[in-house]
Each structure stands twice: as structure tokens, then as C-alpha cells.
């Protein structure tokens, strides 16, 4: 393919440039993008980072008493350093801080989702960015810049890789793409040049992992934690002089080949992947994500919205005979539990989610305790729910989170409600009042001791001259 100059993607640079080569590679294109200065970050991206930080810290605080968080605290609680774990104010080095905070951010499956890469970006990126920004006493504006660059790199890799097939093969894209995004975000905050950033991406390539087999277990949120931690570690090691291969993203046995199932790309495949990456870097898509208003797998959220609308019409659980849930083709892939036994498993069961909505008229954090899952009326109804992936949808070029929930009563009447996007989706944005209310609920649920004005501090992150102290200064 023709030579692509970095300035074709983002003009100008005030950082030390990497030595130029005659060949354009996926790694080089990504690295030169990340190493560009922050002047051209769009205002809507700053606003996205503002909301993402507030929402991500909130859902992490809600998980303060989750077993997976307690386990990490028991193992790493004595490590000291300049960064703060949001859950208890302990200090740790940035990699360990990112590990614990990101695991907590994904522990309740209440964190945001991006249609463009079939995963959870902020649970990985926000902890990585803030840990490095705290260590270096960076500005909030630079932290927001790092978040946006990390998200753009994730989206570009998703386009280059073909993330739909990658996910179908069983990879958890939050982890496998997130670790490279976290390394890019951390590299931005650290001010790495393009050569150092290329090495950071290469180190991250060798840390990319995460199987969907572990959905419904404590290891799933650990995927986000490891991705954030390893991404930070990759950037720090690259800054210290650790090197990687010449093209770890697109070269032989590189990231794109291994994680697309091809092992090594042909020259034509490599060229096409590079073009898709460049196109995404030039136009990364809208600066919007899907904010979750229900604390469970996002593939259940539209069905939950529809079920709550049915319940609000006066439908009683004892009047229901059967329920049919239809989602688009492929929409059942992450929903691996039909008869969950624990709260974690229930987050990946559309059967339980819909039954809980119809029984309670709401779907809150307390619906996913082990005791709540064990309720006889809900279990009985869940057993009479069937789910199919036959819902027709208009192809949009991105993941579709739609559902239709149909209830048949014991008298034979049927009522169906279709939800094309759950509340909080980028197509149905949540109001700031909803974001703040969710934050308050999360803090109360987790019982964490945080500054009373923390929500205001987090929302004002881009204007903050120094990120250090945002969680601890009184």
C-alpha cells in the first residue's frame, strides 16, 4: 500500500520522532498516531472521557465488597507506591493499582460498552490512565487525551482484526484488544515517542489473552484488570528501554495474524488490515458509548427494558405462562447461562434477567446476589422462558443490541414489546442526572469511604491541573 505519513492522520508533533522507515506497517501507523500531540482532540471526546471516568469509578466503588476484589486486596494490599486504589485508599504502584481498580470496574458487569469493538473499554482504559496520571502528576486534560487515544486504538485494531469473528472464536475482546488500548493510553500520558510506543504495543501483544469460557466467574473481571495492568506495565517498560519486534501488530506471527486465526497474514491481508486501521484512526466514529443502567451483560439489557415495560403495564408474575425472548443473530453468544446458580452466572442469563424484571419491576444491583438468584418464583418463571437469536434487524455495520420480549398469559393472551436499544445506549443517551444517580447508588451499594464531592471532582477531571490527590485530598 502507499506510504502513509503520520500527519495524514493527525497533523504536527511536539514529541521526539521515531526513526522513519520506508515501509508502512500497522504497528508504525498506530504508534505514530499515539505519539502525536493532543491539540486536535475533539471536544466531544473530552466530554466522553468526563462521563466515562465518573461512571467507571462509580461501578468500581460498587464492587468494593465483591470476592474478586477482596482476593486481590489480600494478595496485593501491602504494596506501596504513588497511586491510589479507589476502594480503600491504599497506595500501590501504577500497574498494581490499575489491576485492582480495573478488576473492580468490571466485577459487577455494570461498566460501559462499545458497539465498535464488542467490549468494555472504560473498565480497562480509565484505571490505566488514572494510575499513570497519578504517578506522573499529569493534568486531567492529558488523562482525557490518553483515554481517547486508547479508545481509538482499540477501535482501529477491532477494524483491522475483524472483531466479530475474533469474538465468535471465543476471545474476550475487552481483554485481547483492551491491553493494547491501555498501553496506548498509558504511552500518551507518559509522553512516549513513536518508537517507544511501538515497543509498548509489542510488549502488550505478548500479554493479550482472555477466554469467554470464564464468563460468569470471577476470572472475567480479572480480564479487565490484567489488561489494564499489563498495558501500563508495557508502557513503563518501553519507557525504560525494553524493546519488541519490528512489527508486532502486523508482522509474521503478529497480533493481527494470531488473533484472526491466520497465524501469519498474507501481504494482501496485511495491506487491507492496515488500510482499515488507518481509516479508523482518521475517523474513529462517534465519541459516544453505551452507558449501562442495568448491572448485567449488555446483551440482556434490551430484553430487560422490554420486560420492565411489560411489567409496568400491570402484568403480574403469577399470571404469566411462558415468555419468549428474541435477539439478533449472534446475540446469545455471551449469554451462556440458562439456569444460573450464582449472582455472577445470572448476569449472563437472559432467562434470569427477564424473570427478575417481571417479578420485581426493576433490575438493581441487589438482584444479582446469590440469595436473589435462588428465589423460587423467579427460578420457576426463568425455567419457562425461551430465547432465540432470530430477531430481524436492519444491518448498521455495528453491533445491534435489540430484543423483543413476548409474554403469554395463562389465559392465552400474548403481548410483545420490542426494544431496539436499551436506555443509556449511544442511540438513547443517558441524562447526566441518570449518570449521577447511578454513581450515588454505586457508592451506597459498595459502602466505600470516599470524599463527599468525589462525583464533582471526577466530572471536572479535564479541567484539573493535577490528577494526583483526586481521590484523597480533603
Here the cell at position 449 is 469511604
pLDDT exceeds cutoff 50 at 7: no
At residue 57 the predicted structure's pLDDT band, cuts being 50, 70 and 90, is: very high
Measured CA to CA in angstroms, residue 45 lies from 12, 288, 425 at distances of: 19, 8, 16
Mean of pLDDT values over 328-333:
88
**Pairing between strand 91-92 and 385-388?**
unpaired
- CATH code: domain 6-282 is 1.10.4100.10
> What is the pTM (predicted TM-score) of this model?
0.88
At residue 382 the predicted structure's pLDDT band, cuts being 50, 70 and 90, is: very high
Sequence-distant (6+) residues with CB within 8 A of 206 are 244, 248
φ and ψ of 405, to 5 deg:
-110, 125
DSSP SS3 for 336: coil
Residue of higher predicted confidence among 403 and 7: 403
At residue 397 the predicted structure's pLDDT band, cuts being 50, 70 and 90, is: low
Here the cell at position 180 is 493494547
Every domain range in the chain assigned CATH 1.10.4100.10: 6-282
Write down the pLDDT at residue 261.
Answer: 83
DSSP SS3 for 321: strand
Q: Torsion angle of alpha carbons 207, 210, 211, 215, nearest 10°? A: 160
% of residues, the chain, pLDDT over 70: 91
SS3 content of the chain, % helix, strand, coil (to 5): 50, 5, 40
Write down the pLDDT at residue 399.
Answer: 66
Write down the pLDDT at residue 356.
Answer: 97
Write down the pLDDT at residue 82.
Answer: 56
pLDDT exceeds cutoff 90 at 17: no
Here the cell at position 218 is 470471577
Question: Max Cα separation, the chain?
Answer: 75
Query: What confidence tens digit (pLDDT) does each residue in 115-162 have?
Result: 888 899 999 999 999 999 999 999 999 999 999 999 999 999 999 999
Query: What confidence tens digit (pLDDT) does each residue in 335-348 have?
Result: 888 889 999 899 99
Give the integer Cα–Cα distance in Å for 296 and 46. Answer: 27
Query: What confidence tens digit (pLDDT) does each residue in 401-418 have?
Result: 899 999 999 999 999 999
Write down the pLDDT at residue 401.
Answer: 86
Every domain range in the chain assigned CATH 3.30.1330.120: 298-419
Query: What confidence tens digit (pLDDT) does each residue in 252-310 have?
Result: 999 999 999 888 899 999 999 999 999 999 999 999 999 999 999 999 999 999 999 99
Residue of higher predicted confidence among 205 and 43: 205
Query: What confidence tens digit (pLDDT) does each residue in 24-35 have?
Result: 899 999 999 999
At residue 20 the predicted structure's pLDDT band, cuts being 50, 70 and 90, is: very low
Mean of pLDDT values over 154-177:
94
- Quick one: which of 456, 392, 366 has its CA closest to 53? 456
Give the integer Cα–Cα distance in Å for 189 and 185. Answer: 7
Half-sphere exposure in the Cβ direction for 233 (13 Å, CA) = 18
Instruction: Give, rounded to a whole angstrom, the gap between the first and last alpha carbons of the chain.
Output: 55
Write down the pLDDT at residue 76.
Answer: 78
pLDDT exceeds cutoff 50 at 75: yes
Here the cell at position 388 is 432465540
pLDDT exceeds cutoff 60 at 22: no
Give the integer Cα–Cα distance in Å for 294 and 442. Answer: 12
Measured CA to CA in angstroms, residue 105 lies from 86, 124, 235 at distances of: 10, 8, 21
Q: What size, in residues, is the chain?
A: 474
CATH of 298-419, one of 3.30.1330.120, 3.90.420.10, 3.40.1080.10, 3.40.50.720: 3.30.1330.120
Write down the pLDDT at residue 74.
Answer: 87
Query: What confidence tens digit (pLDDT) does each residue in 221-260 have?
Result: 999 999 999 999 999 999 999 999 999 999 999 999 999 9
Least confident of 81-85, 276-280, 349-353, 449-453: 81-85
Q: Torsion angle of alpha carbons 64, 434, 467, 39, nearest 10°? A: 140
The DSSP secondary structure of 47-108, one letter per residue, reads HHHHHHHHHHHHHHHHTTT-HHHHHHHHHHTT---SEE-TTT--EE-HHHHHHHHHHHHHHT
- By the 8 A CB rule, do 53 and 147 touch? yes
Here the cell at position 282 is 482518521
Give the integer Cα–Cα distance in Å for 95 and 63. Answer: 19
Sequence-distant (6+) residues with CB within 8 A of 352 are 337, 340, 346, 373, 378, 382
Measured CA to CA in angstroms, residue 161 lies from 108, 254, 368 at distances of: 28, 11, 34
pLDDT exceeds cutoff 90 at 458: yes
Mean of pLDDT values over 212-220:
93
Amino acid at each position: 500500500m502507499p506510504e502513509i505519513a503520520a500527519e495524514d492522520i493527525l497533523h504536527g508533533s511536539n514529541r521526539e520522532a521515531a526513526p522513519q522507515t520506508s515501509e508502512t506497517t500497522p504497528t508504525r501507523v498506530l504508534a505514530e498516531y499515539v505519539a502525536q500531540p493532543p491539540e486536535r482532540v475533539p471536544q466531544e471526546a473530552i466530554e466522553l472521557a468526563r462521563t466515562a471516568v465518573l461512571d467507571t469509578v462509580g461501578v468500581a466503588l460498587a464492587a468494593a465488597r465483591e470476592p474478586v476484589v477482596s482476593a486481590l486486596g489480600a494478595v496485593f494490599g501491602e504494596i506501596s507506591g504513588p497511586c491510589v486504589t479507589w476502594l480503600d485508599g491504599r497506595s500501590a504502584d501504577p500497574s498494581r493499582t490499575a489491576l485492582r481498580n480495573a478488576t473492580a470496574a468490571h466485577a459487577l458487569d455494570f461498566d460501559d460498552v462499545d458497539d465498535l469493538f464488542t467490549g468494555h473499554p472504560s473498565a480497562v482504559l480509565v484505571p490505566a490512565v488514572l494510575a499513570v496520571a497519578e504517578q506522573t502528576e499529569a493534568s486531567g486534560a492529558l488523562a482525557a487525551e490518553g483515554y481517547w487515544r486508547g479508545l481509538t486504538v482499540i477501535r482501529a485494531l477491532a477494524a483491522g482484526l475483524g472483531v466479530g469473528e475474533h469474538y465468535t472464536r471465543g476471545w474476550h475482546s475487552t481483554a485481547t484488544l483492551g491491553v493494547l488500548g491501555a498501553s496506548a493510553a498509558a504511552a500518551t500520558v507518559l509522553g512516549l515517542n513513536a518508537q517507544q510506543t511501538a515497543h509498548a504495543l509489542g510488549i502488550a501483544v505478548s500479554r493479550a489473552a482472555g477466554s469467554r469460557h470464564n464468563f460468569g466467574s470471577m476470572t472475567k473481571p480479572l480480564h479487565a484488570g490484567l489488561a489494564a495492568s499489563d498495558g501500563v506495565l508495557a508502557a513503563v517498560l518501553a519507557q525504560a528501554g525494553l524493546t519488541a519486534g519490528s512489527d508486532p501488530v502486523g508482522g509474521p506471527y503478529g497480533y493481527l495474524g494470531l488473533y484472526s486465526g491466520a497465524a501469519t497474514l498474507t501481504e494482501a491481508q496485511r495491506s487491507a488490515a492496515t488500510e482499515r486501521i488507518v481509516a479508523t484512526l482518521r475517523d474513529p466514529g462517534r465519541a459516544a458509548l453505551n452507558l449501562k443502567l442495568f448491572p448485567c451483560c449488555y446483551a440482556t439489557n434490551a430484553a430487560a427494558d422490554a420486560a420492565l415495560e411489560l411489567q409496568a403495564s400491570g402484568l403480574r408474575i403469577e399470571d404469566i405462562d411462558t415468555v419468549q425472548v428474541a435477539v439478533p443473530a449472534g446475540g446469545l453468544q455471551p449469554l451462556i447461562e440458562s439456569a444460573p446458580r450464582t449472582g455472577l452466572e445470572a448476569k449472563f442469563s437472559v432467562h434470569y434477567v427477564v424473570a427478575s424484571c417481571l417479578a420485581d419491576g426493576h433490575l438493581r444491583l441487589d438482584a444479582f446476589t446469590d440469595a436473589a438468584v435462588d428465589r423460587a418464583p423467579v427460578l420457576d418463571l426463568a425455567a419457562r422462558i425461551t430465547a432465540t437469536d432470530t430477531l430481524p434487524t436492519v444491518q448498521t455495520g455495528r453491533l445491534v443490541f435489540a430484543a423483543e420480549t413476548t409474554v403469554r398469559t395463562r389465559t392465552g393472551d400474548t403481548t410483545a414489546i420490542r426494544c431496539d436499544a436499551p436506555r443509556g445506549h449511544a442511540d438513547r443517551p443517558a441524562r447526566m442526572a441518570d449518570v449521577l444517580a447511578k454513581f450515588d447508588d454505586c457508592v451506597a451499594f459498595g459502602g466505600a469511604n470516599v470524599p463527599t464531592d468525589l462525583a464533582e471532582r471526577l466530572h471536572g477531571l479535564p479541567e484539573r491541573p493535577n490528577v494526583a490527590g483526586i481521590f484523597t485530598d480533603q
